[in-house]
Amino acid sequence: MAENKNKIVFYADWKDSFNHLTDEEAGKLIKHFFAYVNDENPKLEDRLLIASWIPIEKTLKRDLKKWEQFVNKQSINGKKGGRPKTQKTQAFLEKPKKAVNDNVNVSVNDNVKVNNIEDRKADFKKSLFPFLEIYDKQLLKEFYEYWTEHGEKDRKFRKEKQKSFNTELRLKTWFKNKENWEKEKSSAKKEKLTAAQALRQKYGIE
């Protein structure tokens, strides 16, 4: 935190960053928050906590930059003897400008396709680039391919059919579900090997 700044804004929409965490994880995140704003340079190692922290950190940095600009402006105005006087603008023109011909006809081609589905998919793909710092490329590729799926005659892809879609929160859930799926897959594989070993022992198969 900057010198002489002892107040911060805690935004209500940060609640979403905490809702997907356990009580223990949320406690770690809030302790990290206070350590950060007190310039203790804390470090997070858990990837889920890092993903939750990034939007909060960006907001804090943006607010700090605005505060520093405000302080600098106040300092400059103080040296000049206070806030600069604003000049009054002329309310009316003595002679109004000649109006543009209202009879000009403008034709619009209704068949022009603006922002087609492929362009929108490309925009969605670009929106995932910042998350390369958190998740691996394969996970983001699978996430992109799933949410951009659509039929040949569809005007919208899967993401656009959702009533609400928060990319950051959807990625957290996707990451968590993938971890659980891989654990289940690994556990099933071990159980399968154990069953095979039991059959070999039963029938004396080497």
Digit-coded pLDDT (tens) for 28-39: 988 988 888 788
Question: Chain-centre distance of CA 39, in angstroms?
Answer: 24
Average pLDDT over the chain reads 78
Report the alpha-carbon distance of residue 58 to residue 50 in Å, rounded.
Answer: 12
Dump pLDDT digits (tens) for 48-79.
889 888 988 888 888 878 877 877 777 777 77
SS (H, E, C) the chain: CCCCCCCCCCCHHHHHHHHCCCHHHHHHHHHHHHHHHCCCCCCCCCHHHHHHHHHHHHHHHHHHHHHHHHHHHHHHHHHCCCCCCCCCCCCCCCCCCCCCCCCCCCCCCCCCCCCCHHHHHHHHHHHCHHHHHCCCHHHHHHHHHHHCCCCCCCCCCHHHHCCCCCHHHHHHHHHHHHHHHHHHHHHHHHHHHHHHHHHHHHHCCC
Q: Which residues contact 147 (CB under 8 A, 6 or more apart)?
A: 124, 157, 158, 159, 170
Q: Return the pLDDT at 94.
A: 53
Q: Which residue has the higher pLDDT, 142 or 110?
A: 142
Q: Which residue has the higher pLDDT, 3 or 130?
A: 130
Dump pLDDT digits (tens) for 11-23.
887 788 788 789 9
CA dihedral of residues 6, 11, 14, 16 (deg, nearest 10) = 160
Q: Return the pLDDT at 97.
A: 59
Q: Which residue has the higher pLDDT, 63 or 192?
A: 63
Q: Where are the domains of the chain?
A: 12-79, 117-203
- The first and second tokens of residue 124, run together, are 């969605």
Kindly tell me if the per-residue pLDDT of 117 is higher than 60: yes
Q: Return the pLDDT at 98.
A: 56
Average pLDDT over residues 129-143: 93
Q: Return the pLDDT at 107.
A: 45
Amino acid letter, 122: A
Q: Return the pLDDT at 5.
A: 60
Q: Return the pLDDT at 38.
A: 85
Q: Return the pLDDT at 124.
A: 94
Q: Which residue has the higher pLDDT, 95 or 25?
A: 25
Q: Return the pLDDT at 127.
A: 95
Kindly tell me if the per-residue pLDDT of 93 is higher than 70: no
Cα→Cα distances 179→48, 131, 133, 144, Å: 11, 17, 18, 18
